[in-house]
Amino acid sequence: MKRALLALVLACPPSVMAATPPPGKALYDQIDRRTAEVLPKVVGWRRDIHEHPELGNQEVRTAALVAAHLRTLGLEVRTGVAHTGVVGVLKGGRPGPVVALRADMDALPVVEEVDVPFRSKARGTWNGRDVGVMHACGHDNHTAILMGVAEVLAGMRAALPGTVKFLFQPSEEGVQDGETGGASVMVDEGALEDPKVDAVFGLHVFPYEAGAIVYKPEGIMAAADVLTIEVKGRQTHGALPWSGIDPIVISSQIVLGLQTIVSRQEDLTVGPAIVTIGLIQGGNRYNIIPEDVRMVGTIRTFDPGMRDEIHARIKRTAENIAASAGATAKVTIETGNPVTYNDPALTQRMGPTLKRVAGADKWFPNGRVTTTAEDFAVYQKRVPGVFFFLGITPKGTDPKIAAPNHSPRFFADESALPVGVRALSNLAVDYLLGGK
């Protein structure tokens, strides 16, 4: 028997053996062709969403656009998930695993400064304040890309061995005071169930070279917690500071004291960490020392032990500085997103897929960690997942000087859009072909 098999192999011409396509080759070719066909729509959706951005839990127009598109493709569509989220279910022609693909839809309270024809002029209300609204983090790209992926895969459904769930999520950037939202509410309301998801994939545009795919196994984005410090002094006339207790000066000392926690008290060889105060509120008149000051900030960590230590040291630092001046400081820390953690086995398994899509020259499987955060991590706490960055910095522009996410000058090169569509489509197909 062995001799017969050997004779068959030797008799088979090399040209015939080389011509045998690898598993999935026909599907990969379909993805490329269908991506090219849908690309004009993807660009149009992206520009439309960019011009009409909506803040977290307010993505009514965007959600309606998404839901209408998914229905035209014949998907099962559920709306109103986590307030304004949309979940679409595409059942393949054969039974198999269930893979989820996620995009976030919300914009930021930022006034756009990029001079493009589809520049946002939108206004909105955030925590009672009138604000400009801009897709300064690129979620318009994410939504348009996943709409394109849905159309690509819907056209191939008969060949898909399993099910694809499309998660269009609101409020990744957070919610207004008193509201709930984001990935945690999506999960609570069954986004990963019925059918139960086996793996989840997502991407985020980032100022790497356009078309680059950057990721790493294990932790890639930081855990993020919200810090609030309320300093209470004693109000008095601004000309008579000795007759009161000045919470503004005390708050200034606290801000400076917090900076020594990371720089002087934590072992940064364990992992990076950040403590930032981004908002200070106090006083209403130039010649009155107010009664109190409120500060809000963010804590970013990668190591659980360091996370706990920093929480404790913030409390001790703020309270003791306030007490030294006769004031009080109330510290509240709201635990937020966990570390965005790429499952090592799944990351290794899908590495060849991402390399095939990006090309060897734009494939970076050992990217650097970033202290930005993502609530995609909430899905990864429930099922294995891989999250990667898609570069959007125009060719010839140094990514180091490109405007970062959340900047009013953030700009995304649309040449990255087809790479995003192909990446998520190929990940879904390869995962389904490989089974659980």
172 in active site: yes
Q: Smallest Cα–Cα separation from 223: which of 335, 113, 90? A: 335
What letter would DSSP give residue 181?
-
Q: Which residues contact 275 (CB under 8 A, 6 or more apart)?
A: 227, 258, 259, 261, 262, 297, 298, 299, 300, 310, 314
Cα-Cα-Cα-Cα dihedral sign, residues 363, 368, 374, 379: positive
| Sequence-separated (6 or more) residues with CB below 8 Å from residue 150 | 69, 70, 73, 75, 88, 90, 166
Backbone angle region of 372, left / alpha / beta, with phi > 0 → left and psi within -120 to 50 → alpha: beta
Q: Which of 106, 140, 173, 413 is catalytic?
A: 106
Choosing from 172, 292, 309, 430, the catalytic residue is: 172
Distance of CA 414 to the CA centre of its chain: 18
DSSP designation for 361: G
Active-site residue flag, 106: yes
CB atoms < 10 A from the CB of 14, how many? 7
Task: With beta carbons less than 8 A apart as the criterion, state whether 1 and 384 touch.
Answer: no
CB-based contacts of 134, cutoff 8 Å, min separation 6: 53, 107, 108, 110, 111, 112, 120, 122, 408, 410
Q: How far is residue 227's CA from residue 335's CA, in Å, rounded to a whole number?
A: 9
Q: How does DSSP classify residue 77?
A: E
Return the active site residues.
106, 172
